Copies of this chain bind each other. A is one copy, B any other.
Amino acid sequence: MHKKLLALILSLALCAGSAWPVISQAPPNAMVKQRQAAMTLLAKYYGPLAAMADGKAPLNKEVMARNAGYLDALSRMPWDGFAASTAAEKSRVLPAAYSEPAKFRSAQDEFIAAVANLLSLSKGGDGAAVKNAVGTVGETCGGCHKSFRQPS
Show the binding face of A for B, using Cβ within 8 Å: 24, 26, 33-34, 36-38, 40-41, 44, 69-70, 72-74, 76-77
A36-B40 Cα distance, complex, nearest whole Å: 10
A interface, by DSSP: helix, strand, loop or mixed? helix
| Distance in Å: Cβ of A76 to nearest Cβ of chain B | 8
Q: Which residues of B contact A74 (CB under 8 A)?
A: 73
Contacting residue for A37 out of B24, B26, B41, B72, CB 8 A: B41
Q: CA A38 – CA B45 in complex, angstroms?
A: 12
User: Knowing A70-B77, A73-B74 touch, does A33 contact B26 (C-beta < 8 A)?
Assistant: no
**A34, A38, A40: which has the most chain B beta carbons within 10 Å?**
A40
A106 to B97, CA, bound (A): 43
